[in-house]
Every structure is written in C-alpha cells, then in structure tokens.
Amino acid sequence: MLINGGPINSAPINGASGAVAAPEPEYVVAGISYRWRLRVTVGGVDLSDQVLGVTDTDREGGAAGVGGLELYLPPGPVVPSDWVGRSVTLDFIWTTEGVTHEERRYTGQILAPSWDAANRILACELSDNLQQRVEALSVAEIDALTGGFWSADVFEPVEGRSRWDYALERMSTRTASLDCSPTGELRVSSWYAMATPHYVFGPGTTLDGSVSLQLPDLSRLTNHVVIEADYRYSRLRQKNESWSWVGGGFCGWYFPDNKELPTIEMIEDAVSSTGSQLLKDPSWDLLPPSDIDPCLTGQPWVNNFTDLLLGAQFRTGRRWVQSITERYTLTVEAPASIAQAGPVVARVGGAFEVESAQAETWGSTPFDSGLNGHTDSRDETRRQAFFAVLLRQALAQLVDAHRATRISLSLPTPMAAGIDLTHTLQLDDQGIAAQGRVTRVRDVYDHSGGTAITTLELAVMRGGGAVNDALVPPASVDEPQPPGISPTSLPTQLGGRSGVPEYDEDLPGFAGNYGSSDIADPIRYPRRFKLTVDEIPAEQRDELPVPIAATYSVAIPNDLLEL
C-alpha cells in the first residue's frame, strides 16, 4: 500500500516519499484586477452565450462533484429528456495585466434538467457521475485505482454486487479520498497535508469576512479504537500410545507351565474397545511353526494354534477435533490525543472461521498412521487479510476524526487558479494562521453580477505524537507438541491353580488360566485382553479460547493552527 507515493511504514505517514524534492510554495498576490468569462460546452457544443443567472460547482474529497447551470434555449422544439447525460465542461478564462489564462474547472454531465417554458430556460443539475463511472470499472481496475486492503471475511463477496460499494470498502482502509479531477479523471488523494504548502495566502488575499473556523466537538474526536475479533479453526489431534506384552518364552510355556495365550483378534478387539485404531507395523510374537524338537528335549511340537501370541508390541492412536477460537483484542490509539482530551472510544468487531473438509471426517475415518500430536487447520493468508482490513479501518477512523477542523475562505476565482483537492494551503489572514489539505472547492459564477468567487475549505489535522507502530497483527499462539511416547508394559494374571489372587477385572493386559491345575476346583479367570487408556483432558477436547492482545500507537500530525 502506498501513501503519498511511499510504503506506509517506510516514510512519515504524512510526508512525501523523499524521492522528489518538495516544490516551492506559490504566494498568492492580492490587489490585481481581472476580466473573466466562462466557456460552457454541452455535448461538445459551445453554449457560453446562452448561459444565464448563476453557474456553480461544488467538488469535495470523497464525493461526486455537483453543480448547476441555466441555459436559454432559442425558439424551437425542446425535448428536456434528451439533455440527460450530455457532457458538460466549464472552462474559466480570465485576463490580467494583458495576459489571458484559462483553466478547466469542471467536467461532468447533465444529471437532471428542468424546463421553464415561459422563459425558455433549461435549468440543469450537474454531476461528474463519480459513482456510475466507478460502477462501470472491472474489479481489477478498481484494485489498481483504489489500492487499499480487502477481505472476503470482512465484506460480502464481490460477485453480483455493486462495484461502487466494493471501491468504498477498499477506500475504508485508506487515509485518502476517491473523487474526480476538474478534467474528469478518477483519482485517489491523500488526507495528509504536505510539510511545504503548495500555495500561501497572506494578509489581504481573502474576501473580507469570508474566513471562518469550524471545530469538531469532543464526541467526534475518536482516539481509541478497540477491535474485538474472533478467529476460529479446528485443531486435529492424534494421541498415539505404545504397548508391550510379553507372555514368556515358548519352551517355558510348552513344558512346565502350559497356559492360555491371547490371539491377535483379542488385541484388535481390545484396541477397538478404547476408541483407538491399531497403527501399522505391529510386532506379533506368534507360537512357532511345527518342529520335531524345538526345545531339544526330544519332544516334537505340532502347532495347531497359528493365531496364539507369546508376546506383542504395537501402537494405537486416537483422533479427535478440537475447536480453537483466537480472541483478539487489538487497540489502535492516538496517545497524544488521549493525553489531551481523554479517551473517546469506538469499538468494532468481526469473526471468521476456517472450514476444513479434513476436520469433518478426522475423528471418524479409519487410519493406521500419523504422528502423535496435533495439526491446526489454519489459513494464515486469510487471517492476515482479515486483520489488515480491520487495523487499517481503525487507522482511517482515527485519522479522519482528527482532520475534522475546517477552515473556509473565499476569494476571486482567478486567485484560486490551479488549486485542487490534491493541494496543501497555508493561510495567514483575518486573524487565522493555518495550514491544511484542500478538502472542498466551490465555484460560483454570477453572470448577472459579474462576480466569480471560489470558496476553499481546508481540513486541518491536529493530534500529535511521534510513534507510528506497524499495523501487523500479532502471531497466532501455537501449542507445543507433546513429548515422545514410551511403551507401556502390560501385565498378565493367570488363574486355574492354588494360591492365585482374586481376579482383577480392572487390571489391563492379558487374563487367562494355567493349562493344568493342582487342585480340584481352582479359581478360573475369564480369558481376555484389556487396554486402559486415559480420558482425553477437557482442555484438549472442549472449545479452547486463546486470548491475544496488542496495542498500536498512531501519531497524528499537528498542522498549523493559530488564532
């Protein structure tokens, strides 16, 4: 984004880029006589001789330039509606000290004609048609014209909507105005006055009694904008656990202590019962294949139990989705203004959510891999765009509030030659010394009275301060990934012999019985395999609010204002 031709954070916010030296101011001289006339063309035809009464134009920063003129139409048929939309140009021509000058003061169209049949006068309302001209632009053309920032999470989608509204949305993030030049070009002009004025009006240069000052009341002096915005996304969590169960060696199991063993299916069922999934590459220690003498005892082994396990090492995983809401409280303030007038607070809000197709099925889709930890379904590009808009809207609101001081002055139009909404003026006349940006130019040409008077309005910015913080949103808060996992050793409890303890149904691991008993009626355990997993903590399961706060200081220039 550029302001006055330079990046917003690379030069003083109200200064020039530094690449071009500021021009020397032009000192306006009073006490010179003028002869003037107005050239008026309508639809490309010079109708200057048919202009009656008063012709006026009014151009203001950020608004359509309007005006009015009256035309005498000679006898003959008149269709007033045919005049709607015809182009109009007003060129001011004046002669002083034998030299003739001319300047385009207005370019527009007839907006609404009205017909006075008795006097054959066509009164025309004029407009430079700013809104409709912008409406005719493409989105790319508006982007190039306005600059600024835009986010679909702050504004409505562009498609099928007013291009004028879209342009205003972009302009809401700029400390500048969109309007038309006197020659009809669309343009964007900064709100900031230059350090060196373009024009200087000294004593005696303004019409007597025409200089006035309008001061804003305190309620308009917004100096503290609080942005309260939520950024929501899903945190895709996976908790992996590692398990180890050892039932003993084959030879020890086969001969002296023959006992029941679990199967792979039993472990798979145990995993499923915890809401977990079995991860790939488990290690199953199955009973060995048939052998004529596996233990070197002279006894053969015939394996009729191919799914029984002597041991197992495996990993399991659980997946779930947690909703994360980053709750931002961002304050954009003008500290110097607050120190002087106290806080005048405005609040704005917003919210958006990153939708994730992966999050919709994360907890229900079978899986056999994945790291222990979490992944956030964020969209950093959207987050940056969202806060870029809100922060710069807050900046524009602050700056606009501090340029509400207005100074109005009137002078003969020849003395206002060349002055436009892009210029900075300095005034020292009729008890007021001030400097500010031109924000309004109004011309009144009285053809009967022979006067041509221009009224200029200056916006004087006052606030103070020296610090302009970069409007960069604070970073999201990352949750640390969990540490690595260690295997959990699962115990074994066996019944079916004398002296065994009572069966513990809560004990994880394998439960079964010895193959032979030393008593007639032993305590027998159910044959099962069990896993016990910890419940997911509420702070990892329930919606998690994450507060994030930041404060940005804004310096407001102190334009000259002395009474």
What ranges do the domains of the chain cover? 1-30+193-220+404-460, 34-128, 131-190, 226-401+464-556
Give mean pLDDT, residues 177-202.
Answer: 97
Which residues make beta-bridge pairs with 323? Answer: 234
**pLDDT value at 310 more than 80:** yes
**Could you tell me the pLDDT band of residue 12, with boundaries at 50, 70 and 90?**
very low
Give the rounded percent of residues in the chain with a pLDDT score beyond 90: 87
Give mean pLDDT, residues 382-391.
Answer: 98
**pLDDT value at 519 more than 60:** yes
**pLDDT value at 324 more than 80:** yes
| Four-residue CA torsion sign, 198, 203, 207, 211 | positive
**Could you tell me the pLDDT band of residue 22, with boundaries at 50, 70 and 90?**
low
Domain 1-30+193-220+404-460: CATH architecture, name and number where available: Beta Barrel (2.40)
Pairwise CA distance, residues 169 & 152, whole Å: 11
Residue 117 three-state SS: coil
* pLDDT for the residue 5: 36
Give the rounded percent of residues in the chain with a pLDDT score beyond 70: 96
Which pLDDT tens digit goes with each residue over 196-220? Answer: 999 999 999 999 999 999 999 999 9
* pLDDT for the residue 119: 95
Helices 163-171 + 139-146 axis angle, to 10: 30
Which pLDDT tens digit goes with each residue over 67-103? Answer: 999 999 999 999 999 999 999 999 999 999 899 999 9
**pLDDT value at 373 more than 90:** yes
Which pLDDT tens digit goes with each residue over 232-245? Answer: 999 999 999 999 99
The pTM of the full predicted model, rounded to 2 decimals, is 0.87
* pLDDT for the residue 1: 35
Pairwise CA distance, residues 397 & 332, whole Å: 10
Q: What is the mean pLDDT of the chain?
A: 93
**Could you tell me the pLDDT band of residue 556, with boundaries at 50, 70 and 90?**
very high
* pLDDT for the residue 549: 98
**Could you tell me the pLDDT band of residue 443, with boundaries at 50, 70 and 90?**
very high
CA-nearest of 514, 515, 516, 513 to 525 is 513
CB-based contacts of 493: which residues, under 8 Å, 6+ apart? 501, 503, 504, 507, 509, 510, 511, 525
**Could you tell me the pLDDT band of residue 462, with boundaries at 50, 70 and 90?**
very high
Which pLDDT tens digit goes with each residue over 254-266? Answer: 766 788 999 999 9
Contact 91, 37 (CB under 8 A): no
Residue range 34-128, CATH number: 2.30.300.10
* pLDDT for the residue 21: 60
Give mean pLDDT, residues 220-241.
Answer: 97
